[in-house]
Amino acid sequence: MAAAPPPARGHPSIWAQKYPNRPAVIMASTGEVETYSALDKRSNQVAQLFRKIGIQTNDSIIVFMDNNKRYHDVVWGAQRSGVRFSCISSKLVADEVEYMVGDSQCKAFITCKALLPVARQVAKLCSGRPIKWYLVDGAEGPFEDLEKVIAKMPSTPIKDQSAGSSMLYTSGSTGRPKGVKRIAPPAPEGINPLDIDLCPPLVTLGAMFFGWPGVIGTEFKYLSPAPLYHAAPLGWTMAVHHAGGTVVIMESFDAEKVLALIHQYKIETGQFVPTHFIRLLRLPDAIKAKYSVASLTGVFHAAAPCPVAVKEQMINWWGPKIHEYYAGTEMNGFTLITSPEWLQHKGSVGRALIGELKICDEHGEPVPAGTDGTIFFANGPQFEYFNDPKKTSEARNKYGWSTLGDVGQVDKDGYLYLTDRKSFMIISGGVNIYPQEVENALVLHPAVVDAAVIGGPHEDMGEEVIAVVQPLKWEDASQKFADELKEYLRSRVSHVKVPRKIEFMKQLPRHDTGKLYKRIVKDAYWGKASAEFRGVVPKASKL
């Protein structure tokens, strides 16, 4: 008979024993609290349910919810039962969700009332498939009431506990979403399987900045302002639970509410995206002065390049405790830069913390320092795109190094600077133009909320630069304002990068996670309907 595994060291089940009444989750809008004792009990009941309905280790479930108080009950139930869980965007339409249900080989689908209009359609599209359907806050049609079902389940751990894993889908900003399956190395002997880190780099950052695991179990509070279906918010919140901290979850982002929550709960840390910073900076000074951010010991940002001027202003406001990292859902590598480092290397996203940075040409060969090329990581964690060996192979070069398709350069000191995604590059008159530089300049204009720069066909130049701008006030959308923006750009970017056309949208299709759906912008510009944002994104106004 095999010996029982040693006790877990960093898991909600441990904190439930040591600190049963400590909040694991606080919902920002209502103040509702779920303690570690309750999270442990409910996640055990979810795991027991999975076994009862036949879901075994390595089977798949889908979580289709908004930022809901039951979110972590479900994902921790999956994590402690060895289940592969795919948390998917709450913004998707039915056919997109149905694709992920089929692609992931889903055996249980868990949703909430807020998303029932789409979930009903998904259930209809999947009629006849062996899938169990659950609502976390009620019952309707094929959807059973998860609350009532798990209430009948034992609250003790299942007999065959093992660490499950997230299989999240890429955002689809450049094509159809792909399920990212991370390949974890075998657990070392003597390690409890529940101790396998779901997102090792985030736990590493916690150890570096907040004493995990050296002071693991110390009470601290983390603010989560972004959708939990995204890799970073999900990974961060579960990493905080590994360490025994409290997660304060915002149902949706609101700039003033962020400051109020930091002030109210004495938040120590959180993760943001550049769009959040821009909205925070645009708050009136009187609003900013109402709240103290002195409790912050360190915050992180990622997901998209941050304009230098924006980050400078944030550091001036919050202090030199804003740290940046570069990574993807694939987690094939990871870079980090602290505020003090960044002030010496402005614009950089840091040096490699996990994996080795390699910048390569179009043939996959390394290029000298200071040269733009495709960003690869060598000797990093392995991943594959689920059910897509072709895409998995295309993400690697002949040396086995892997890439997310981003372009950048590394300086002589090993600091990485992002240029843009390779697929976003515009070729105009033989000149390679990366839109990110122009977008960064545009969003610094006080009357601009957001901007997307794309390439449009041009008879002589091949492509021309087109900017699609979301103005602060829609009534500003005019030829006069377009001309003003062109003049504004002429002193900030090379003349070849100044858009020949500037058009306007009331709202650009930017994910709550910060990523811009540039593919959607191009489709909208050319009048091509996109299922994901059909009826949401207005066509650009042609001036």
Asked if the structure places residue 426 within a domain, the reply is: no
Tell me the per-residue pLDDT of 224-271, one tens digit each, with 9 for 90 and over.
Answer: 999 999 889 999 999 899 888 999 999 999 999 999 999 999 999 999
Nearest-angstrom CA–CA distance, 340 and 338: 6
Mark whether 291 and 440 lie in a shared domain.
Answer: no
Mark whether 497 and 375 lie in a shared domain.
Answer: no
Q: Is 250 helix (H, G, I), strand (E, B) or coil?
A: coil
Mark whether 199 and 311 lie in a shared domain.
Answer: no
Instruction: Give the count of domains, the chain.
Output: 3
Mark whether 388 and 258 lie in a shared domain.
Answer: yes
> What's the confidence (pLDDT) of residue 275?
84
DSSP per position, 73-138? HHHHHHHTBT-EEEE--TT--HHHHHHHHHHHTEEEEEE-GGGHHHHHHHHHHTTTSS-EEEETT-
Tokens of 265: 């709960």
- pLDDT, average across residues 465-472: 92
Asked whether the beta carbons of 430 and 445 are under 8 A apart, the reply is no
Asked if the structure places residue 527 within a domain, the reply is: yes
Mark whether 390 and 417 lie in a shared domain.
Answer: yes
Nearest-angstrom CA–CA distance, 485 and 332: 39
How many CB atoms are located within 10 Å of the residue 451 CB?
25
Using a cut of 0.75, tell me whether the model's pTM lies above it.
Answer: yes
Mark whether 268 and 287 lie in a shared domain.
Answer: yes
Lowest-confidence region among 3-12, 27-36, 519-528 = 3-12
Last residue of a domain, one of 373, 400, 421: 421
Tokens of 481: 């304002």
CATH number (domain holding residue 519): 3.30.300.30
- pLDDT, average across residues 179-198: 67
Quote the distance between the C-alpha of residue 16 and its chain's center.
Answer: 28
CATH number (domain holding residue 362): 3.40.50.12780
Name the nearest CA neighbour of 532 among 174, 93, 120. Answer: 93
Tokens of 221: 């509070």
Tokens of 537: 């994104």
Nearest-angstrom CA–CA distance, 320 and 297: 10
Mark whether 417 and 444 lie in a shared domain.
Answer: no
> What's the confidence (pLDDT) of residue 531?
37
Last residue of a domain, one of 370, 400, 421: 421
The residue range of the domain holding 261 is 253-421
Asked if the structure places residue 3 within a domain, the reply is: no
How many CB atoms are located within 10 Å of the residue 285 CB?
6
Mark whether 98 and 150 lie in a shared domain.
Answer: yes
- As a three-state string, the secondary structure of 357-400 is EEEECCCCCECCCCCCEEEEEECCCEEEECCCHHHHHHCECCCC
DSSP per position, 291-348? S--TT---EEE-SSPPPHHHHHHHHHHH-S-EEEEE--TT-S-EEEE-HHHHHHSTT-
Asked if the structure places residue 7 within a domain, the reply is: no
Percent of the chain residues past pLDDT 70, beyond the cut = 84
Contact residues for 339 (Cβ-Cβ < 8 A; gap 6+): 315, 319, 320, 321, 322, 323
Mark whether 336 and 191 lie in a shared domain.
Answer: no
Q: Residue 470 forms beta bridges with which residues?
A: 450
Asked if the structure places residue 539 within a domain, the reply is: no
Mark whether 93 and 229 lie in a shared domain.
Answer: yes
Name the nearest CA neighbour of 136 among 149, 120, 122, 123. Answer: 149
Nearest-angstrom CA–CA distance, 202 and 237: 10
Asked if the structure places residue 243 within a domain, the reply is: no
Last residue of a domain, one of 421, 455, 475: 421
Mark whether 405 and 524 lie in a shared domain.
Answer: no
Mark whether 80 and 44 lie in a shared domain.
Answer: yes
Asked whether the beta carbons of 32 and 58 are under 8 A apart, the reply is no
Tell me the per-residue pLDDT of 2-20, one tens digit each, with 9 for 90 and over.
Answer: 444 544 557 899 899 999 9
Contact residues for 190 (Cβ-Cβ < 8 A; gap 6+): 6
Tokens of 413: 């000191």
Q: What value does the mean pLDDT of the chain take?
A: 87
Lowest-confidence region among 131-135, 290-294, 490-494 = 490-494
Q: How confident is the model at residue 405 (pLDDT cuts 50, 70, 90)?
A: confident
Asked if the structure places residue 370 within a domain, the reply is: yes
Tell me the per-residue pLDDT of 52-82, one tens digit each, with 9 for 90 and over.
Answer: 999 999 999 999 999 999 999 999 999 999 9
- pLDDT, average across residues 335-347: 96
Tell me the per-residue pLDDT of 134-163, one tens digit each, with 9 for 90 and over.
Answer: 999 999 999 999 999 999 999 999 999 988
CATH number (domain holding residue 50): 3.40.50.980
Asked if the structure places residue 238 within a domain, the reply is: no
pLDDT at 509 over 90: no
Asked whether the beta carbons of 159 and 127 are under 8 A apart, the reply is no
> What's the confidence (pLDDT) of residue 215?
44
